[in-house]
Structures are given as structure tokens and as C-alpha cells.
Structure 1
Amino acid sequence: MKTIGLLGGMSWESTIPYYRLINEGIKQRLGGLHSAQVLLHSVDFHEIEECQRRGEWDKTGDILAEAALGLQRAGAEGIVLCTNTMHKVADAIESRCTLPFLHIADATGRAITGAGMTRVALLGTRYTMEQDFYRGRLTEQFSINCLIPEADERAKINQIIFEELCLGNLPKRHALIMRK
């Protein structure tokens, strides 16, 4: 079994499902008491979010590339970045770390095309919805057309993500907004 390097903490709330789903997959495949061999580097999201807001993507890429190198030195055999938005700096990570890197847009694209879809709604942080690093990859590599909400809806979704989901709160009223 290979050792998976998880690069998480952005937010720690969004890192939890990665760990759980990886281990559920191992349990389903191998049964018994098997679990995944995982190394986790959880960054301080406060620093990352500050860089995001200031548009300091190069600095963000440096921080995450250094974290990935730490996982490599610790024995990880591949890197999973446990967030959508930070895939904006995936190239910085991949250029400095020699481990295989699982890009979330590739996994998403395979799942979408595997389900026979070519047109989907894309929800996420405003960075993910508005910038091309995610949508562009889905379009260019998988011929998927991504629809995004109007500007006011994107702002509301972004606010819910940063002010509630990242803090572990999802009131029922916002769950309804996200379903619409």
C-alpha cells in the first residue's frame, strides 16, 4: 500500500472528508481493520486566506510547495491537495515536488464524464467559480461546460463558505440556498 500525502487545513473542516473517504475506500477494498497509510500536513488557514485576499498567490504557492516537500521527505508517495481553491497554485506545487499529484479537477472531470454529463453547475469559493484554473481545466481536458451563478449569488456562496462552512457551521437555511 502506498503512503498518501494529504495537504490540508484549508479549512480543516474540508480536510476531514478526504481522510474519511480514503479510509472508507480502503476498508471497502481490503476489509477488516485495514486503513490507509496517510501523512497529513495541515497548514494554518489564516495565513493562506490572508494571502488569497491580498492576491499573493505566489506566496501561497511557496507555502504549499514547501508543505508538499515536507510530505515527500516524510515518505509520502503521492500528494492530494484537500481543497478546490488552492489548485490555483497546483503548478507551483508540482514544479517543486517530484511526487505524483492528484489534481482535483481531473478526478472531477473523470467523474462527470463517467456519469455521461457535459454541462454542470460549479459552486465554490469566488476564486474557484470566477477564475480559470478549475473551469478551464474541465473545459480543455474533458469538454465540460461549467455554469456559474450570477455575481450576487457567487458573493453569497463565497460568504457562506468562509464565514460558516470553514468554521464548521452550516445552518439549515444556507443548506437550502446551496441546493437551489
Structure 2
Amino acid sequence: MRKLGLIGGLSWTSTARYYEIINKAVHRALGGQHSAPLLIDSLDFAEVARCATQQDWDCAAGQLIASARRLEQGGAGSILICANSMHRVYDQVQAEVGIPIIHIAEVVGDRMQADGIEKAALIGTRNVMTEKFYRQRLVAHGVSLLPADMELADRIDRIVYDELTLGKVSKESERYMKSELTDIAKEDVQAVVLACTELEMIVDVKANVLPIHDCTGIHAKAGVDFILG
């Protein structure tokens, strides 16, 4: 098996989910007492989020670059950035290390293309829903996306940063997301892209009226493919 590096702490709740998905998949593939050879560099999310809140993306990039370098020096052969929103600085980080960083939107786009998805709704935090860095990569895979719903983006920001990144799961937020997904299903779309690594804490990705492409699971499984070669 090859060693995979995770840039974690973005938030710790989603990093824990990556760890679980990757190890369960490796165990299913190899059986016995096998688990995944991982290096995890877990950042202080408060410091990274402060940069993002102030729109100081060079500050955020600097923290992720330092993390990626530590993972490379530690022997990782590839890296996952365990957050959708932090892929805004992907190009800057990738340019500073000599090992591949698996882009979350690329592997999600590949999966959607393989599934024949041409029209979808992208939901996540505000920067993921509204900025080009994420949307363009999905569009490049032949996926047409609904325009961003700003009210939904603002509510997801509050749910993610006030609740989910702190490990809090509320019934109110679960009901809200279920209602929103039911409304989205009435639109002319074939699927929903769940582009926030924490949202699966309150969304049942297997029990919805529309197929849901869960970016956390798809990204983590791409890391498993690297590990197993």
C-alpha cells in the first residue's frame, strides 16, 4: 500500500469522517487486520477560517502549503485536502509540492460524468456555491449547474460554522436540509452535489428523492484508490 497524506482539521469533524471511510474501505479490500497507511496534518481550523473570513486567501494558502510540505517530507505519495472550500487555494498549494494533490471537484466530476449526470444542483458553503474555482471544474465534465441560491448558501454557512464544525447536529437543521432537497428535486436536475464535507452529518445521502453525489465519500474513495494502487 502507498502512504496517503491528509490535510485535516478543516474541520476535525470532517477529517474524522475521511479517516473512517478510508480505513473501512481498505479493510473491505484487504481484510484481516489491515488499515490505511495515513499521515494526517491536522490544522487549527480557527486560524484557517479567520483567513477565509477576512478574504485573506494567501494567508489560508500559506497554512495549507506548509501542511502539504510536512506531509510530503513525511513520506506521503499523494494528498487530500479534507475540505471543499479550501480547494479555492488548490493551485497555489499544488505548485509548492512535488506530489499530486487529488482535487475533490475533479473526482466528483469524473463520477458524475460516469453516471451520465448532465444537470445538477451544487450545494455547500457560500464560496463553493458562488465562486468559479469549484463550479468550473464540474462544468468541464459536462455538468450544467443551477444558479446559486444565496439564501440557501447563507443558511448553510451558519449551519456549518455554528454547528457542524463544532460537532453539533440539530433536528432543525436536518429538517431544513430535507425540505431544501425536496424543493430542489422539483427543479430540472438529475442529481445534487453535496459539496460540503460536514453536510452528510445531517443529510442521509442514501435516502433522498434525488441521487446525491457526496463529495466527502467520493474524495475519500479516490484516496483509497491511490493507497491500493
Give the number of equivalent residue pairs: 179
The within-5 A match list for 1:20-169 is 20-140=20-140, 142-169=141-168
Judge which range, 106-115 or 54-63, deviates more: 106-115
- Measure how far apart 1:148 and its partner are: 4.8
Where does structure 1 differ by over 4 angstroms across 4 or more consecutive aligned residues?
none
Judge which range, 148-157 or 17-26, deviates more: 148-157
Cα RMSD, aligned residues only: 1.1
Give the distance between the partners of 1:91 and 1:5, measured in 2 at CA: 17
Q: Give unpaired runs (5+ residues) of structure 1.
A: none
Give the distance between the partners of 1:167 and 1:119, measured in 2 at CA: 33
Asked if structure 2 preserves the Cα contact closer than 8 Å seen for 1:4 and 1:79, the reply is yes
- Measure how far apart 1:123 and its partner are: 1.2
Give the distance between the partners of 2:173 and 2:157, measured in 1 at CA: 12
SS at match of 1:39: strand
CA displacement, residues 114-152 of structure 1 (integer Å, 9 cap, x when unaligned): 222111111111011111111111112x01122255222
Give the letter for the 1:117 counterpart.
I
More helix by share: 1
State the structure with bigger RCO (CA 8 A, min sep 6), 1 or 2.
2
Give the letter for the 1:161 counterpart.
V
SS at match of 1:117: coil
Q: Give unpaired runs (5+ residues) of structure 2.
A: 181-229
Give the distance between the partners of 1:32 and 1:148, measured in 2 at CA: 47
Asked if structure 2 preserves the Cα contact closer than 8 Å seen for 1:80 and 1:103, the reply is yes
Matched-pair identity in %: 36
